[in-house]
Amino acid sequence: MVKLSIIIPALNEEDFLSRLLESIKIQSFTDYEIILSDAGSTDKTIQIASDFGCKIVSGGLPAKGRNAGAKAATADLLLFLDADTKLPSRLFLENAIKEFKERNLDVSSCRLLPLEKSKVLNKGSVEALFKASSYLMIMFEKIAPFGVGSMILVKKELHRKVNGFDEKITFGEDTIYIRKAAKVGKFGILRSVKILWSVRRFDKEKWIKPGFLYLFCWFIIGLDEKKLNIFDKGFFQYRFGHYKENKSKNKYFDFEKIMKFFSKK
């Protein structure tokens, strides 16, 4: 049995997927399988995954895709990656697993680096924002665990114990997953690795909307977990795979609905 199952949810990711798979292919750690959870791609995503020898399963939105991949996984250790990420070093997997075991962790995430240049902000601003987010992830590691679905390393046993990702939630499912997992297992932000993460979502929305939503998500989860059902009320619209072709004008969130929701509590 392999020691690591790498799970990648995807929808029309031909522009990014090959870069991620290439960075996995050159890793010093090789005892892994790659599972692509496809949400109905119409481009070359499935062909690219097939060429790299990935196991392909039917997915959906990220939460559903990750859960489907976990069900198909044969390893006891799961690594969830987003298709628009890249491993910056051939030692990424080796170092991540080593630190995970040495710290006796059950679930972890890691700090982020920008994958490409922003078309909206200058290099210095982007680097400052990524450094700030990394600082906050470590500072609140023990009291308000936070991480992103772009990189989550977790024991399969713990994934099952928390019933995987909540598929009813359309935004913040990764943060909620980490918070639940950290309550029954040991959580940590890995210091030995950082992952390259695309800024396309932030550029698409001029940085303001997604930045606000991530902060809002983290704040609400930390403030009052009884209000977590705000994320399954349709206030947040996660537009999976929309970056290249779908020009939908759906709002990320409906501020008026959010305020009414909280005023009733």
Condensed to tens digits (0 to 9), the pLDDT of residues 27-66 reads: 999 999 999 999 999 999 999 999 999 999 999 999 999 9
Predicted pLDDT of residue 121 = 79
Predicted pLDDT of residue 203 = 66
Q: Which of 33-37, 126-130, 233-237 has the highest mean pLDDT?
A: 33-37
Q: Which CATH superfamily is domain 4-200 in?
A: Spore Coat Polysaccharide Biosynthesis Protein SpsA; Chain A (3.90.550.10)
Residue 17 clears pLDDT 60, i.e. is over it: yes
Identify the three-state secondary structure at position 144. coil
Residue-range domain boundaries for the chain = 4-200
Strand order in the sheet with 85-86: 55-58, 32-38, 4-10, 77-81, 151-155, 107-114, 187-197, 85-86
223-248: average pLDDT: 50
Task: Tell me the chain's radius of gyration from C-alpha atoms.
Answer: 18
User: Integer distance in angstroms from the first to the last C-alpha of the chain?
Assistant: 49
